[in-house]
């Protein structure tokens, strides 16, 4: 596409997104009216059905993939041949059933929408669907596009990760409409995540009568946690955090069992390898004690590879055609972009609208940004 054609398309898409503002807001309100809690396939069904109806209207070639976590939706649009764009979304939220009734969608006088999941990531989903509709109206969808909308990102994507990895391997680029950084910047790196359960076992005994017969699982666990704390390296971006600690034993017993969850974040593959090696070498210190480490969830780090950096530079240039000056940066949290990037494909994350309060009761999204990101995502699909 020539420079003049790109400029004309960018302007047309921005006009079209502004004209669709009322429809975009209505879609956001309708989607936010459904609770969609992770881990509850039955509760996810209304949101999945609504999204299917919107995909059918695009029109898109849509499939529903059954998973243990709930329906995973997949849609294909555009021609069959060419460099494929993968759009990676999730429709589950962190909010339990009943949250919508307690805290319904509303728009304040400043043009900011509030409601559960409105930022993470219902705003991103609406922007993607609006972008695809715009490209269809302008007959500008000239490359294959695949859309995945997953049901379990907020709980680790265990049921979706193989599908995500497979589709990422087929793609030329992966676009992820997670919320933008403050100021609208793209997310070009994310930490990796290792969530581990460490379980220590020992031998029970009466803590007063014959403690010498016991082997304390609590003492074993504490020593292990001290050792794990030594893995932290703030300069390298590696952090270690202890979550749930449990020792379900009577107070007058030498503990027979104790466990803890350990959240470890790493900035790059080298640190991940170092941490995994250390986890694999853990061993009990006491005779008669046992120690096991179980991985509950993990995601590899999203590093700013040359492919990621190149996509971000090109995206910033395209954004300027719509009057946006956007930066890029790092996010400490994880997303499905981590899984896609592990397949070696160019990934651009943080394409969703601006807002704040993700996973908090003040979650909100700026409607002006929703319109802008609809136009920008459409342009990226067409020209990136």
pLDDT of 363 > 80? The answer is: yes
**Structure pTM?**
0.93
Given this model, what pLDDT does residue 350 score?
98
The CATH number of the structural domain formed by 192-299 is: 3.30.70.360
Q: Where are the domains of the chain?
A: 3-190+301-383, 192-299
Cα dist from 282 to 180, 259, 262, 343, whole Å: 39, 14, 14, 29
Tens digits of per-residue pLDDT, 124-142? 999 999 999 999 999 999 9
Band the pLDDT of 175: cuts 50, 70, 90.
very high
Mean pLDDT over 26-52 rounds to 97
How high is the pLDDT of residue 332?
83
Peptide bond into 59 cis (omega under 30): yes
3-190+301-383 and 192-299: identical CATH topology:
no
The Cα–Cα gap between 187 and 304 comes to: 9
Q: Mean pLDDT throughout 33-58?
A: 97
User: What average pLDDT is seen over the chain?
Assistant: 96
* Statement: residue 2 has pLDDT above 80: no
Confidence at residue 239, expressed as pLDDT on a 0 to 100 scale: 97
Which CATH architecture fits 3-190+301-383?
3-Layer(aba) Sandwich (3.40)
> Residue 354: what pLDDT?
97
Burial of 380 (0-12, 13-18, 19+ CB in 10 A): buried
pLDDT at 3 over 90: no
Query: Using CA atoms in the order 196, 201, 206, 208, what is the torsion angle rounded to 10 degrees?
Result: -60
Mean pLDDT of 244-266: 95
Average pLDDT over residues 98-114: 97
């Amino acid at each position: 596409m020539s420079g003049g054609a790109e400029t004309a398309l960018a302007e047309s898409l921005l006009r079209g997104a502004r004209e669709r503002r009322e429809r975009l807001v209505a879609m956001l309100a309708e989607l936010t009216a459904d609770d969609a809690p992770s881990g509850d396939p039955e509760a996810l069904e209304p949101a999945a059905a609504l999204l299917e109806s919107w995909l059918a209207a695009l029109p898109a070639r849509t499939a529903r993939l059954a998973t243990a976590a709930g329906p995973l939706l997949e849609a294909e649009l555009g021609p069959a041949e060419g460099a494929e764009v993968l759009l990676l979304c999730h429709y589950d939220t962190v909010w339990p059933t009943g949250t919508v009734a307690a805290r319904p969608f509303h728009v304040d006088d400043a043009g900011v929408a509030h409601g559960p999941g409105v930022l993470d990531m219902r705003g991103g989903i609406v922007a993607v669907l609006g972008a695809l509709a715009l490209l269809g109206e302008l007959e500008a969808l000239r490359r294959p596009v695949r859309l995945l909308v997953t049901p379990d990102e907020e709980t680790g994507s265990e049921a979706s990760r193989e599908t995500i990895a497979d589709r990422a391997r087929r793609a030329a680029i992966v676009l992820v409409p997670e919320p933008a950084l403050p100021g609208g910047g793209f997310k070009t790196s994310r930490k990796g995540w290792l969530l581990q359960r460490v379980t220590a076992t020992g031998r029970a005994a009466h803590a007063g009568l014959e403690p010498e017969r016991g082997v304390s699982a609590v003492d074993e666990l504490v020593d292990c946690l001290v050792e794990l704390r030594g893995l932290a390296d703030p300069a390298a971006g590696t952090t270690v955090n202890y979550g749930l600690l449990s020792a379900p034993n009577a107070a007058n017993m030498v503990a027979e069992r104790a466990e803890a969850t350990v959240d470890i974040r790493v900035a790059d593959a080298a640190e991940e390898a170092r941490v995994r090696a250390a986890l694999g070498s853990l061993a009990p210190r006491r005779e008669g004690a046992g120690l096991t480490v179980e991985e509950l969830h993990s995601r590899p780090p999203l590093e700013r590879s040359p492919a990621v950096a190149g996509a971000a530079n090109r995206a910033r240039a395209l954004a300027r055609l719509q009057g946006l000056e956007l930066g890029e940066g790092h996010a400490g949290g994880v997303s499905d972009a981590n899984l896609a990037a592990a397949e070696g494909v160019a990934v651009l994350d943080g394409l969703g609208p601006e807002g704040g309060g993700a996973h908090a009761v003040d979650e909100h999204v700026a409607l002006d940004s929703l319109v802008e990101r609809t136009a920008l995502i459409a342009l990226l699909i067409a020209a990136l």
